[in-house]
Structure formats: structure tokens, C-alpha cells
Amino acid sequence: MESFFCFFTQMITGLIGKKIGHAQAFLEDGKRVPVSSVLVTSNIITQLKTQEKEGYNAFQFGIDLMKKTNKSQGGHSKKAGIEKTPRFLKEIRVDALGDLSLGRLVKAEEVLKQGDLVDVTGTSKGKGYAGVVKRHHFKGGPRTHGQSDRERAPGSSGQTTTPGRVYKGKRMSGKMGNAKRTVKNLVVLSVQGDTVLLKGLVPGIPDSVLIIKKVGEDKKFIPLFKKQTVDSNVKPEPEQNDVKEKKIDDESTNEIKAEPSKEEKKEEKSEIKEKQNAK
């Protein structure tokens, strides 16, 4: 079985997941790091693409379920032997397909483990139409000398007669975000069931689709810090300092005597006077 899983992980180098959100955690060396949690569940192989037919080898994975499907989508899932059509379909290229069959469910634990390095691809958050200050971090114009409308202006976009045009790729205002982005070399901190914790931030909004590709292993991996659980029924043994303090407290309580009341003091005084008169 171990040799099969080793061969299995070599074939499949990536999975599809959905972003849950961001948080923070502590490593065993005490360092605080940002953490992204990704839900990797129900990765079903919907298609096998081969070198002979498509020109490359790849697995097509599907996640989630569609409420309504048309004939073409339904026929695609029927070929894979799946009753319900997946909502999202993504391809991950591999060197060899192996003996994996259509309709097989791939779990996160079969592909990823602690200390793996992965590249995460997703769609970044859309910012709408943005100016050059926000989009390209322009400094803006001066705020003085009567230039009240130059503070966030882009400035000149080119020269005059030569070349008489604006060069392609000139940084200007326009739509920002909502683009395909890849964050490389993120470390897998833990794989617990369907939840994968990654060290660092990933693109996209919560519940967006991500592609996680394994690219290597971190040789200097430091795991997450785990709190030690203490059994409530077992009482901890007292330390030597605590025992010494208890002994000192006991001795001090024995030395201290209760003060006599007023009536007792009067009786003592009267007894002393009677003894003096008797003498």
C-alpha cells in the first residue's frame, strides 16, 4: 500500500479547493505567521486527457454540484460515471496518468502532507475602475502653487511629434483586480481531513476556487505549535519551592497566638493585684 500511495502522489501533483479565510498561528519556534485555510473536498476525476488525443497528459477534477444542467454538461459527467454534474472543472497537467480511473475520489491526505511547497492559483479580488495612484502607486502631482486638480493626476502620457503616439503598455487608469494570480512556494502547515492550512496568503475572496499544485518540500520545515492537554483528574506534583513555602507558613501559624479579650485581661490584672496584696 505504501508503494502505491507513493506512486499515486507522484502522478497527481495538484488538487482543487475553496478558500475559507485567513488567520494567524504560532510555530514551535515561537514565530507568528499568517495562515490561509483551504477546503479541499470531493475532488472527482471527470476526464483523463492523453498525449495521443489531446497532445498532453492531464487530470480534470470536478468539485461541488450543479443545481441545473444541460445535455452537454450531463453527458460529460455520465461518461465519467458520475450521477451529479460538478459545478467547477479544472485541469492539472501531469507527466503520466497511471492506472487511475474516471469517477475516482481523491482526498487531500493522498496528495499533500506537512512540509510540502505548493503554488496556489486563483482569481484576485476585483477593485473596479481605479486611478493610477491606487493601481500603479503613482506619487501624484504637487499640492501647492494653485494646482488643485493635479494631486492624483497621471501627468504626461508621452512625447510630442516624435513618436506622436502613446507606447503600448503605458501605465494608466483602468480596471483593477479580478485577474488570475499565482502565489508561489507556500508551505503546507497541516492537513486535517478536508482542511489544508497554508503558510501565507492566497488570492481571491472567501469561497472562491483555488488550484493547489505541489512543487517540492521545505527542508527547514517548522510545524505548528500545539498546546499540551492536561488531564483534570491527575493532580500535578508540587515543586520543592512550593513545599518549602508551605512549611514556612505552617511554622508561622503555630508561632502566632490569638490575642486575649478585654475580660481576660481584666481577670489577669485582678489576679496580679490579689497576689501583691497577699504578700
CB-CB contact of 141 with 153 (8 Å): yes
Non-local CB neighbours of 212 within 8 Å, separated by 6+ positions = 14, 15, 16, 17, 38, 40, 112, 118, 119, 120, 196
What is the DSSP code string of 68-95? Answer: S--HHHHHHHHHTT-SS--SEEEEEE-S
Query: How much is the pLDDT for 223?
Result: 94
The residue behind cell 490569638 is 258
Query: How much is the pLDDT for 20?
Result: 96
Query: How much is the pLDDT for 7?
Result: 46
Q: For every one of its 279 residues, what pLDDT tens digit does the chain have, with 9 covering 90 and above? A: 444 444 455 578 899 999 999 999 999 999 999 999 999 988 999 999 999 999 999 999 999 988 888 999 899 888 888 888 999 999 999 888 877 888 889 999 999 999 999 999 999 999 999 999 999 999 999 989 988 889 999 999 999 999 999 999 999 999 999 999 999 999 999 999 999 999 999 999 999 999 999 999 999 999 999 876 555 565 556 555 555 555 555 555 555 455 677 778 788 888 888 887 776
> Rounded CA gap, 109 and 246, in Å?
52
* Cα–Cα separations (whole angstroms), residue 47 to 4, 29, 171: 21, 44, 41
Going by the DSSP 8-state scheme, the letter that residue 144 receives in this structure is S
Neighbours of 145 (CB within 10 A): 8
Query: How much is the pLDDT for 272?
Result: 83
> Rounded CA gap, 88 and 221, in Å?
33
* Cα–Cα separations (whole angstroms), residue 172 to 161, 162, 213: 21, 20, 33
Query: How much is the pLDDT for 256?
Result: 47
Cell numbers linked to 197: 492550512
Domains in the chain, ordered, with CATH?
2-139+176-217 (2.40.30.10), 240-278 (no CATH)
Please state the pTM of the whole predicted model: 0.74
